Amino acid sequence: MDTNKKNKIKEILDKMSLEQKVAQMMQIPYSVVGREKALEWAEKGAGSFLHVLGDNARELQETAIHSGQGIPVLFGIDAIHGHGLNENATIFPSQLALACSWNPELIEQMGKMTAREVAADGLHWTFSPVLCLGRDTRWGRIDETFGEDAYLAGELGAAMIKGYQGDDLRNPERILACAKHYIGYGEAVGGRDACDTEMTYRKLKDVFLPPFQKAVEAGCATFMTAYGSIDGEPFTASEKTLKEILRGELGFDGFVVTDWDNVNSLVSNQHVAADSKEATLLAAKAGNDMIMTSEAFYEAAIALVREGTLAETVIDEAVLHILTIKERMGLLECPQRKVPAEYIGCEEHLALNRRLADESVVLLKNEEILPLAANVKKIAVIGPNADDIRAQYGDWTYFTHPDPHPEHEPMRPYATVLEGIKEAAGADVTVSYAKGCAVKAADEDNLEEAVRMAKDSDVVVLVLGDMIEQAGETKDRADLALTGRQVELFDRIKETGKKLITVLVSSKPLCMTKIVEGSDAFLVSFNGGMFGGNAVANVISGKVNPSAKLPISFPRHSGQVPIYYNSLPGWHGGKYCDLPAEPLFTFGQGLSYSRFVYRDLAVTQKKDQLTLSVCVENVSERDGEEIVQVYFHDVVSSVMTPVKQLIRFEKVAVPAGMSKCVQFILRDSDFSLVNRQEQRVSEPGEVELMVGSSARDEDLQKTTITIA
């Protein structure tokens, strides 16, 4: 930032009263306090509001710029997979579904289009992306992650940030990104949301920090502290994570916002503070710049400064961070940014949404049944999630936030799996439908109708999964098995002897071993957004050649969790005595209608750089896309390292009967680790390189190199 801009911000800060400065640190939830109180806060000089849309936001902005110091407010919203709290907006696949595409370019475009729609609503800021790792699938927020791997999460998260923010935050069509939840939140013990994270700082830096490092490098303007704690210290009160690591080691220069009511939680949930004054002191000194929803912070911070317990310079630093970001956005000169309302739900955005949905459906089993043959004339679509748009959307839409509204009328356009199959089938194919059973036990279960329909079909498409009441905050699960009578429904359909295609529409991997083994084909469509149903139908019909790969592993049983591909070695026996060692499906797996063969793996080394090349041949008669994955294993190291670790990937299009040579440039730093002194270093020695179609050993070609 140039000197003139710095001086301008300093001039504004010097003119502010203590009350105005503390107000600037406050983020007020409009949906909680209501219009009248929100207007009062705007007059006080509140720095931000959340969960307020359109004209209500514009009214608050007008009030703010004509009150006190006239500093514009930032409006934040949970635009997690599109601006989904607005019923007319484009709802994209969830982060977990997007991660199945392994396509940073499309995800960057999705971020750009989400930013347009958020900005068109008069808002400036999304609390996205989630950079937590989904390694314990019992956790209720798995759907919000990019999966279990830090490298993939970092690459896709950085792409999303670039999409949201672009090259210039002054562009009115761009918005602020927020990297969350900082840090280790998803690793809470037992998959229990917001509980303590039992790990060392060495492990935190080695495994969980890299995606946030990528976010800083991508220019992410804001970070959000997590609900939980590390070794008993709440993240909201952690000077080490916020000041020493985030600002000191990573060089972050934006501002930090707490998660929902985190300051009050220091008193009410975590019991490390006796009252709001003590909690305020902890949060302010730790380095939180903006306080989400904990209104008691305002009076407490003023009192602490007045009595000399809290230095006003702490408040000044926080406000400086906030004003700096507002200046970067150009809000100080132009508080009301004008973006065409026609962006919301426009055709350009819907077209990208369709493509992302197509690239997010993972084919995991195919016993020569897909794509469906032309002689299939009767399709029975059965199951609780075959025609349920709420289950297909998942969390963070107008059905679930700011308050749950499952009764909300679904807004078109969208297509469920049933609707997608009807659309794809054509006039000469009969498509029948029976729900069969509910996701949870319900009076409307009718397995007999489903069985009759299956018997009268050529093929059955059975759509199983979970529901929005089973995903999200406070929705952790101890049992990942299918609920209700879904397994019984599967058994009854299986007994008919009909060809069976099973589709999982869910917020996370569920335990599906019996279902997968008994199905002729198995597909996964995590919350696929508006056109998830079309995407499933496109893959089943063969209109789309699937290219998606899993960003997360599937456990065979709830007791096998956590099971992720990059575990540490040394488990005595290497497996549970009553289960195979491997998950049902492993990170990186996914089938295509094309068949790819890897050959001619070669490595060329020059000083601290090496070039890895491999030939990918399409030996089928259909053009296809393959996601080439590169892993490494440090053979001997000063600390234990994973059995394998993803370090590169590339999605390549290979025409039928053709080959493509794929090259990757690697450096010594790609094989680094965090040592016992919490320093990231590259150690000399042997490194095993692996290239192939998934993290499974049988899918990888291997070679060994030496790092000097």
Is the pLDDT at 2 greater than 80? The verdict is no
Angstrom distance (rounded) from CA 206 to CA 192: 22
Q: What's the Rg (C-alpha) of the chain?
A: 26
- Is pTM beyond 0.95 here? yes
Is the pLDDT at 329 greater than 90? The verdict is yes
Confidence band of 607 (pLDDT split at 50, 70, 90): confident
The pLDDT mean for the chain works out to 96
**pLDDT score recorded for residue 4:** 80
Angstrom distance (rounded) from CA 253 to CA 237: 19
**pLDDT score recorded for residue 1:** 66
Angstrom distance (rounded) from CA 191 to CA 135: 9
Structural domains in the chain, sorted by start: 45-342 (3.20.20.300), 354-560 (3.40.50.1700), 596-707 (2.60.40.10)
Half-sphere exposure of 454 (CA within 13 A, CB side): 26
pLDDT above 70: percentage of residues in the chain: 100
The DSSP line for 436-481 is -S-SS--TT--HHHHHHHHHTSSEEEEEEE--GGGSSTT---S--B
φ/ψ of residue 597, rounded to 5: -120, 130
Mean pLDDT over residues 203-230, rounded?
A: 97
Mean pLDDT over residues 184-202, rounded?
A: 93
Start-to-end Cα distance in the chain: 41
**pLDDT score recorded for residue 608:** 78
Angstrom distance (rounded) from CA 430 to CA 453: 11
The region that residue 257 occupies, defined by phi over 0 for left and psi between -120 and 50 for alpha, beta otherwise, is beta
**pLDDT score recorded for residue 448:** 97
